[in-house]
């Protein structure tokens, strides 16, 4: 009789275990993600401020390591969404936030690789200024993400997301100014193309930060 009891109960436990939420803490993973995003942006900032080939190589390596780490985080988040029966917010919001955050770091990595590959001289102060807007955006996003998952300070988060929006607009203005300077200061067509590629990547990275802010804003609206 006892054998029959256990033979029935144990399979039942296995069935119900499918519906028990796993130990995936999405907010901790997203905070780690945000840390890596800030780190990658600061490494790119070092490249643009120092304009030194050896430092560029080192920073590119550091960004590549960060990119691999966030790839693993992204995989963990995606796997957690599919294994968790009850998620803290809508699954699609988790996956979307995961996607846009990974995309941001990927663009930062691509920008750093272009600088290393093209071996350009940072001839304009607009380059570091554009990267400053990127760094400020990632720091605001990090702070906003730290508010998710608990008693969120809506007013504070709204201000942080507005800061990201302001940085994106500032970067757009710098990009337009830089493009005009590019054609007046450089004569070589190949150099112009190289600098267009790099400056465009910087602008796209800041745009991507705004995409992250938009997803966070949507999470606030739908869960408030």
What pLDDT is stored for residue 125 in this prediction? 81
Query: Are 31 and 145 a contacting pair, CB within 8 Å?
Result: yes
Give the burial string for 71-88 (b: 16+ CB within 10 Å, else e).
eebbebbeebbeebeebb
| 86 vs 33 pLDDT, higher one | 33
Query: Is residue 1 a part of any domain in this protein?
Result: no
Determine the Cα–Cα distance for residues 37 and 139; give it in Å rounded to an integer.
Answer: 9
3-state secondary structure of 23: coil
Q: Residue 23: pLDDT band by 50, 70, 90 thresholds?
A: low
Query: Are 202 and 175 a contacting pair, CB within 8 Å?
Result: yes
Determine the Cα–Cα distance for residues 105 and 70; give it in Å rounded to an integer.
Answer: 8
Query: Is residue 4 a part of any domain in this protein?
Result: no
Query: Is residue 36 a part of any domain in this protein?
Result: yes
Query: Is residue 157 a part of any domain in this protein?
Result: yes
Task: Read off the CATH number of the domain in which 101 is found.
Answer: 1.20.58.220
Query: Is residue 90 a part of any domain in this protein?
Result: yes
What pLDDT is stored for residue 171 in this prediction? 96
The CB-side HSE value for 99 (13 A sphere, CA atoms) comes to: 10
Query: Is residue 11 a part of any domain in this protein?
Result: no
Determine the Cα–Cα distance for residues 211 and 224; give it in Å rounded to an integer.
Answer: 20
Which residue segment(s) compose the domain that 30 sits in? 24-223
Query: Is residue 89 a part of any domain in this protein?
Result: yes
Is the pLDDT at 24 greater than 80? The verdict is: no
What pLDDT is stored for residue 137 in this prediction? 98
What pLDDT is stored for residue 83 in this prediction? 85
| Overall number of domains in the chain | 1
What pLDDT is stored for residue 113 in this prediction? 95
pLDDT in tens, 175-209: 999 998 888 877 788 888 999 999 999 999 999 99
Mean pLDDT of the chain: 87
Model confidence, pTM: 0.86
pLDDT in tens, 56-112: 999 999 999 999 999 999 999 999 888 877 877 888 989 999 999 999 999 999 999
Is the pLDDT at 2 greater than 60? The verdict is: no
Query: Is residue 13 a part of any domain in this protein?
Result: no
pLDDT in tens, 139-172: 999 999 998 877 778 889 999 999 999 999 999 9
């Amino acid at each position: 009789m006892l054998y029959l009891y256990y033979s029935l109960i144990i399979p039942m436990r296995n069935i119900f275990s499918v519906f028990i939420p796993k130990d995936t803490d999405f907010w901790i993973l997203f905070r780690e993600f945000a840390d890596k995003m800030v780190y990658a942006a600061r490494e790119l900032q070092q490249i643009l401020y120092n304009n030194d080939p050896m430092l560029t190589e080192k920073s590119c390596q550091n960004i590549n390591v960060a990119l691999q780490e966030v790839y693993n985080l992204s995989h963990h988040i995606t796997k957690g969404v599919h294994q968790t029966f009850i998620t803290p917010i809508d699954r699609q919001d988790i996956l979307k936030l995961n996607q846009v955050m990974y995309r941001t770091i990927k663009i930062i990595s691509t920008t750093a690789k272009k600088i290393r590959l093209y071996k350009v001289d940072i001839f304009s102060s607009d380059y570091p200024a554009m990267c400053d807007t990127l760094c400020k955006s990632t720091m605001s996003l990090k702070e906003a993400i730290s508010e998710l998952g608990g008693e969120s300070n809506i007013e504070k988060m709204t201000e942080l997301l507005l800061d990201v929006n302001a940085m994106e607009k500032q970067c757009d203005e710098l990009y337009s100014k830089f493009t005009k300077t590019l054609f007046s200061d450089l004569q070589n067509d190949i150099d112009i193309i190289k600098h267009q590629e790099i400056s465009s990547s910087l602008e796209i990275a800041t745009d991507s930060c705004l995409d992250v802010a938009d997803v966070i804003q949507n999470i606030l609206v739908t869960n408030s």
